[in-house]
């Protein structure tokens, strides 16, 4: 099983149902050394703003989110959902857990 740190739309139950066919159970966690910024992605109906995490290496920068346990297949589905503007990175949480999160694909 895989750990996924979600800080944006992946916390939405409707998106979870569409993507995984179920609602995920998660645990609140804090990511240290990152901030949330915004990116613009051109969608069918115009520009849409989405959150994106950016590493700062500063311990005072934190992001609150949820950690979910998902299968490797669900992780691959999440890669497809996040698309070309995001890349999966391994992050270390305040709880000392490692998890996957999605950052800017630069």
**Residue 73 pLDDT:** 97
**Residue 57 pLDDT:** 94
Structural domain contains residue 1: yes
The rounded percent of the chain whose pLDDT value lies above 70 is 99
Decide: helix, strand or coil at residue 23. Answer: coil
Nearest in space to 6 (alpha carbons), one of 74, 59, 60, 73:
74
Q: What's the distance, Cα to Cα, between the start and end of the chain in Å?
A: 27
Task: State the Cα–Cα distance between residues 5 and 84, nearest whole angstrom.
Answer: 19
Structural domain contains residue 84: yes
Q: Phi first, then psi: what are they for 17, rounded to 5°?
A: -60, -45
* Domain interval for residue 81: 1-30+61-66+76-89
Residues 85-102 have a mean pLDDT of 95
Instruction: Say yes or no to pLDDT of 42 above 80.
Output: no
Structural domain contains residue 55: no
Instruction: Say yes or no to pLDDT of 43 above 80.
Output: no
Better pLDDT: 37 or 45: 37
Task: State the Cα–Cα distance between residues 91 and 5, nearest whole angstrom.
Answer: 8
- Domain count within the chain: 1
**Residue 27 pLDDT:** 97
């Amino acid at each position: 099983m895989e750990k996924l740190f979600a800080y944006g739309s992946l916390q939405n139950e409707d998106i979870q149902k569409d993507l995984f066919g179920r609602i995920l159970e998660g645990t609140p966690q804090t990511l240290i050394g990152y901030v949330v910024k915004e990116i613009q992605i051109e969608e069918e109906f115009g520009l849409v703003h989405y959150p994106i995490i950016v590493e700062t290496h500063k311990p005072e920068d934190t992001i609150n989110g949820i950690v979910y346990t998902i299968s490797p297949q669900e992780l691959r589905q999440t890669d497809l959902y996040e698309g070309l503007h995001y890349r999966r990175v391994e992050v270390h949480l305040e709880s000392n857990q490692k998890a996957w999160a999605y950052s800017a694909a630069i």
